[in-house]
Amino acid sequence: MKKILQIASALVFSFSVTQSKAQLDDGSIASNFTFVDMAGNTQDLYAMLDSGKTVFIDISAAWCAPCWDYHTDGHLEGLYNTYGPAGTNEVRVLFIEGELTNTDAQLTGTNAGNTYAGSSQGNWVAGTPYPIVNLSTATTGASAFMTDFNIGYFPTIYMVCPDRSVTLVGPVSTAALYAAKSACGVATAAVDGEMITALQYNKNLASCDSVTPTFRLANIGTTPLTSATITLSVDGTSQKTINWTGSLATYESTTVTGVKVGSLTPGTHAISAVISSPNGIADPTVANNSTTASFLIYPPVGGAFISETFESAGIPNDWAIVAGGNTTWEEDLTVGYSSTASAKLPFYNIGSGQVDYLVLAPMSFAGGSVATLSFKVAYAQYSSSNTDRLQVEVSTNCGTSWVSKFNKSGATLKTVPPVGNAEYVPAGPADWRQESVNLNTYAGQTNVLVRFKGTSDYGNDLFIDDVNFSSFGVGIEENELNNNVLVYPNPIANNATVAFNLAETNTVSISMVNALGQAVMTENLGKMNAGDQTYSFSTSSLNNGLYFMNIKVGNNTIIKKVTISK
């Protein structure tokens, strides 16, 4: 474990969940575990939950100073003493040592140096009334626990409700911990139904014209739940009704796949699910019977060109971010390849295993025989062992299935050496590398979705800039080394040359379009022969700035971004 959540003991009461990234999304289902604590007692998570107890878990490390500060401030101790077995008997508290190389000696205060595997902040056992579990590489289920609970930093403080739903409560006061418990359903004498985290696993949905929601239905009544009515609404208008039947014991839950909701207009929508009539009677507790999530319907299929520098408005509104957690793709308005804007995936603050998508607006490659994506990337590993991954995936069926066309990670993805315990920021153009992806397989398709997929290894930040797509016919021969067209020099002072290869004789024209979409220069080159071609032109009459060079060959056009800087 390398990074820790930086907190200070003097600020205990100002802690908030917003200081940290969710390890698991709130509402996720906790996997069961059975461990033996340092006193020799078995701790079974589901057994505690089935008895109706809310379980608070502190995953920390013996060497972790912020963890020690929170531990010695006594907030979990206060929670356990007041609301645990010796108090009102509502909660259970566990301390779990999450550094798998740590020893019992470290937990009892033996400091054997400055390494993770030897150092200790003090005696964690003395005075701690609740169980302490020391996981190690030899503990059965230890690695699975760290993976299932997506531990990316210490301390991580989770609350697990009896229905097995997880909430990241963070290192907060006793009062705040107990207040968080109010979100957990309490079994009532009558049959009850509870909606939990609608669309949890496909939140931030993106689709061409429809969505199929999934959500969890839980029973917090004391008798089995065998039927319920679930109503799906979009933007406040009822769309579908699901008559659910099954059998859920107290605190049991199930995943329900809703019916398809379609024929929606492009843009962002809110979908909600509401449960009623559990077992055919009025629900005694209605406050927890609904849940809502948002989703995006893609705009209509656009043209065959994208040239995005993130300068004008950051990440375009018609692109979709499908987030794997609370921290995901974002616009960075401080750094870019040749300016001060880019798309950023902050792996530095994203726990291992999280997957995040940046989905571009749908495009039509109809009539084309050549299709190419190019982009610039900047990335530094945290250390040489980190393998954050970037992929480019393509779908031609509105996101039902995806094919990977680009896949780099770790040392093959990095553009600069590892930077260690500092969040990476590109220092300049030398930090960036041009990537080109051959998409000829999809030339001729009428609805093509392309997305960037980032998979975190809890490494360091990744940046993307100058995303360019082009699809065109046989007029220009594909050349991946120069992205089909080479303009040099770029940036341009007063004169430039464009080089390309024609597959057959055709008419060619070149125009320069400014950032407002105005054609400010046009050169008609007439009919040109097949083969390598070059054309030199003057830009002395143009002002400094960003331009798009449109090279038209017959009825096909390719766009090249250029900068004029005199």
Question: What is the predicted pLDDT for the residue at 476?
Answer: 40
Q: Is the pLDDT of residue 509 over 70?
A: yes
Question: What is the predicted pLDDT for the residue at 304?
Answer: 59
Specify the range with the lowest mean pLDDT, choosing from 82-86, 175-179, 342-346, 496-500: 496-500
Residue type present at position 16: S
Q: CA 328 to CA 330: how far, in whole Å?
A: 6
Q: Is the pLDDT of residue 392 over 60?
A: yes
Burial category of 336 from C-beta neighbours within 10 Å (exposed 0-12, middle 13-18, buried 19 and up): buried
Distance separating the N- and C-terminal Cα atoms of the chain: 50
Q: CA 145 to CA 136: how far, in whole Å?
A: 11
Q: Supply the DSSP string of 439-463, one letter for each residue.
A: -GGGTT-SSBEEEEEEE--S---EE
Q: CA 222 to CA 192: how far, in whole Å?
A: 8
Confidence of residue 412 (pLDDT cuts 50, 70, 90): very high
Q: Is the pLDDT of residue 395 over 80?
A: yes
Question: What is the predicted pLDDT for the residue at 15?
Answer: 23
Q: Where is pLDDT greater, at 305 or 538? A: 538
- Beta strand pairing call for 370-379 and 433-438: antiparallel
Question: What is the predicted pLDDT for the residue at 471?
Answer: 59
Q: Supply the DSSP string of 363-391, one letter for each residue.
A: B--TT-SEEEEEEEEEE--SSTT---EEE
Specify the range with the lowest mean pLDDT, choosing from 4-8, 19-23, 42-46, 220-224: 4-8
Helix (H) or strand (E) holding 397: none
Specify the range with the lowest mean pLDDT, choosing from 93-107, 341-355, 383-397: 341-355
Q: What digits encode the pLDDT tens for the residues 284-304?
A: 888 888 888 777 777 777 665
Q: What digits encode the pLDDT tens for the residues 79-131?
A: 999 999 999 999 999 999 999 998 999 999 998 887 788 899 999 999 999 99
Percent of the chain residues topping a pLDDT of 90: 42
Question: What is the predicted pLDDT for the residue at 401?
Answer: 87
Q: Supply the DSSP string of 118-139, one letter for each residue.
A: T--SSBSSTT--S-EEE--TTS
Specify the range with the lowest mean pLDDT, choosing from 18-32, 64-78, 393-407, 544-558: 18-32
Average pLDDT, the chain: 84
Q: CA 94 to CA 267: how far, in whole Å?
A: 45
Question: What is the predicted pLDDT for the residue at 191?
Answer: 86
Rounded to 5 degrees, what angle do the CA atoms 453, 458, 460 make? 80
Residue found under tokens 């902040």 = 121
Tokens linked to 353: 């295993």
Q: What digits encode the pLDDT tens for the residues 439-492?
A: 888 877 888 899 999 999 889 999 999 887 765 544 444 333 334 577 777 788
Question: What is the predicted pLDDT for the residue at 299?
Answer: 73
Q: Where is pLDDT greater, at 310 or 473? A: 310
Highest mean pLDDT among 158-162, 261-265, 485-489: 158-162
60 in Cβ contact with 247 (< 8 Å): no
Q: What digits encode the pLDDT tens for the residues 359-383?
A: 988 888 776 666 778 889 999 999 9
195 in Cβ contact with 180 (< 8 Å): no
Distances from the Cα of 368 to the Cα of 304, 313, 406, 442, 471, angstroms: 9, 30, 21, 9, 6
Confidence of residue 540 (pLDDT cuts 50, 70, 90): confident
Question: What is the predicted pLDDT for the residue at 489?
Answer: 78
Question: What is the predicted pLDDT for the residue at 189?
Answer: 83
370 in Cβ contact with 341 (< 8 Å): no
Q: Where is pLDDT greater, at 391 or 266? A: 391
Q: CA 322 to CA 212: how far, in whole Å?
A: 15
- Single out the residue of 195, 329, 207, 325 nearest to residue 260, CA to CA: 207
Specify the range with the lowest mean pLDDT, choosing from 173-177, 354-358, 371-375: 371-375
